[in-house]
Amino acid sequence: MKKMKANPQPSTAGKMGILAIERRKHPRFVVELPLDYTRTEATDIVGGIVANASEGGLLVYLPERLDMGTILQIQIFYVKDLEFNMLKAIAKVVWSDMAARESWGEYRYGLQFLSIDEQEFSKLMMLLREVGK
């Protein structure tokens, strides 16, 4: 978030404002979807929650501390037309907020999609369109 001083006008001299500039390439959509993931070097499946999504990545809450750059195989679960659906992708941890809920055993991460095949990407775009309505 970039902070900028507002130009003071004669009647507002001494007052400052904050201007937020969005730097994301893709709009985010608020969702609450279950997620399963495995680290590429591990076999155990761990669950988490997707809090928001875009065509470039996800904001997720996970139960364990992960390092920046960790590669995850992910599965996102959702219901469409009364059918249970899943989309798969490979994503990388690109940022973390360890302090957010560390005391509760939840960690917040930004994941960037590294690999998602065309069919899975089509499912993601369809899901985002539905959420955006």
Q: Is residue 8 part of a domain?
A: no
pLDDT-derived band at 4 (thresholds 50, 70, 90) equals very low
In this prediction the pTM is 0.76
pLDDT-derived band at 40 (thresholds 50, 70, 90) equals confident
Q: Is residue 11 part of a domain?
A: no
Integer Cα distance of 102 and 49 in angstroms: 15
Are 63 and 92 in contact, with CB atoms under 8 Å apart? no
Q: Is residue 20 part of a domain?
A: no
Q: Is residue 63 part of a domain?
A: yes
Q: Is residue 99 part of a domain?
A: yes
Q: Is residue 6 part of a domain?
A: no
Are 4 and 19 in contact, with CB atoms under 8 Å apart? yes
Q: How many domains does the chain have?
A: 1
CATH of residue 76 = 2.40.10.220
Domain hosting 115: range is 25-132
Q: Is residue 45 part of a domain?
A: yes
Q: Each residue of 80-125: pLDDT tens digit? A: 888 999 999 999 999 998 665 555 568 999 999 999 999 999 999 9
- The candidate with the shortest Cα–Cα distance to 70, out of 78, 83, 80, 60, is 60
